[in-house]
Amino acid sequence: MLTYFSKRLLFMVPITLAVSLICFSLVHLSPGQPMDAVVSADAPAEVVELVRRAYGFDRPLPVQFGLWVQRAVQGDLGLSVATGRPVVLEVMGALKNTLILATAAALIGFPLGMLFGTLAGYFKGSLLDRLLTGIAVTGVSVPHYWLGMVLVIVFSVHLNMLPATGAGPGASTDWAFEAAYLRHLILPAVTLSVIPMGIMTRTIRAMVGEILAHDFVEALRAKGLPEWRVFLHVVKNAAPTALAVMGLQLGYLLGGSILVETVFSWPGTGMLLNNAIFRRDLPLLQGTILVLALFFLALNLLVDLAQTWLDPRIKRA
């Protein structure tokens, strides 16, 4: 296990550098000037050049990239062009809120997906299977930002049951585990959980159906094992694949919530990215993408280790 962990950790180094390079290059290839967020359009050329030098935008791109990586290794992602605050502080504050939203969505979507997928796989071809599969396909197909707007119209505008925007009362950006804050979390969490729920349902349905068709399941039943014991064997064989899908979907929840957070004005990394794009805030944009990418890599590493622990065949391989 230690050797496998060391190899996987070593492989993360070039992947991280590649992600950093892609992130840095794509941001600089996009149209617009980052100075637009700092100086006005009619500012003198001398002022614009002075600000460019202060932020290092006057240097060649390879030099900018090298300096950025050097500072990032030391934990310094630069200063936000729009606010002047350190990017690390901006990202960490938003990342906490995104983790809260992603965790809540995972607690809703993953159990439902596992339950629906297991039932659909066990009763494959039945009316229940068609119903649950239909729910899963609908969940995957419906755009989550559209679903979010529909939920706001129904539960916030017409029924006046739940708040539509913000992380807490008074447009608070600091979420707390209290009833008033939980009400703000419900709609974005439900919206964000629909797609992972559908993907989990379809994946586990296919896995359970495939496992039930194996000869060892018939052998277990022929031995007289009760059905709940057979069910445990099926779950054990489906666990590595389910865990891999859960890891990928959790990464999606962390990095793919930009539209949902924008719809609900949730102060997370998605909202931060949206603001950074429109403001052309390059340091903030690069820092946010880099932190999310590193989170995704670390998450994949943890999932790989968990799969190795659950499935002895991976250890032998």
Mean per-residue pLDDT over the chain, rounded: 81
Contact call for residues 178 and 293 (beta carbons, < 8 A): no
The pLDDT tens digits for 58-71 are 778 788 888 888 88
Query: What end-to-end distance do the CA atoms of the chain give, in Å?
Result: 12
Residue with tokens 């998450």: 299
pLDDT in tens, 296-316: 888 877 777 777 776 666 554
In whole angstroms, give the CA distance from residue 266 to residue 171: 9
- 74: tokens are 């030391």
More confidently predicted of 4 and 112: 112
Q: What is d(CA 54, CA 87) in angstroms, rounded to the nearest whole number?
A: 16
By the 10 Å C-beta count (0-12 exposed, 13-18 middle, 19+ buried), 25 is classed as exposed
In a domain, 79, yes or no: no
pLDDT in tens, 128-170: 989 999 999 988 888 888 898 999 999 988 888 888 887 777 6
Looking at the structure of the chain, the number of domains it has is: 1
Would you say residue 252 lies in a domain? yes
Query: 76 in a domain, yes or no?
Result: no
Residues forming beta bridges with residue 86, ordered by sequence position:
79
Residue 48 lies in a domain: no
Say how far apart CA 191 and CA 217 lie, in whole Å. Answer: 37
Residue 111's CATH number: 1.10.3720.10
Q: For 75-176, where are the alpha helices, taking DSSP H only?
A: 87-122, 127-141, 144-151
CA distance 276 to 262: 12
Residue range 205-224, pLDDT digits in tens? 988 888 888 888 888 888 88
Is residue 251 over pLDDT 90? Answer: no
Band (pLDDT 50/70/90 cuts) for residue 184 is: confident
Confirm whether 9 is domain-assigned: no
Per the structure, the complete domain to which residue 249 belongs is given by 96-316
CA dihedral (135, 136, 141, 144) positive or negative: positive
Contact 218, 278 (CB under 8 A): no
**CB–CB of 254/292 below 8 Å?**
yes
Q: Residue 315's pLDDT is what?
A: 56
In this prediction, residue 314 carries a pLDDT of: 58
Residue scoring higher pLDDT (233 or 199): 199
